[in-house]
Structure 1
Amino acid sequence: LTIVTGAKAQRVIIENKRATGVEYKVGNKLEVATTRKDVILSAGPIGSPHLLQLSGIGDKDVLSKAGIELQHDLPGVGQNLQDH
């Protein structure tokens, strides 16, 4: 387990339809953490769908309009969000 403080996730790295790592920034420096096991995404109710979409997981039409390469068409990502 590696913990990096002050980092901001940019996207989940997907290879062969499998999450293999995370691209993140510390300051202005872009870093990559990879794994052969599991990637755990925990960025909250707004951040998690946002990261999934930036990673190419979401509604194919939304991702296409944003110029993001589709990794997995999952139309429910980012839908029905409510401010409580």
Structure 2
Amino acid sequence: MSHNKINYEEKKLQEKKERIKENRIKKLEDKIQQLEKNIKKLDEEMKICSSNFEKLNELYSEKNKFQKILDYVLEEWIVLSE
């Protein structure tokens, strides 16, 4: 195989990896937005239900679940964005 052909194939492979990475970053950013929106909505619901301890506890648990997922997604986004 010629040197030019190897360089071309390496370049194409690198471009493919970069596209995959960019697509993943975009998906993570979309996921981050959705999770932040969900958390904000839960915060608003928690304010409304502040006197209903049972409902408040349920909302708090759900918010924590979203927050843990958000933390994980943010961590992956940071690594890929470097």
Identify whether the pair has TM-score above 0.5, normalized to the shorter chain: no
Larger Rg: 2
TM-score between the two structures when normalised by the length of structure 1 = 0.29
TM-score between the two structures when normalised by the length of structure 2 = 0.29
Q: Which has the higher contact order (CA 8 A, sep 6+)?
A: 2
By percentage of residues, which structure has more helix? 2
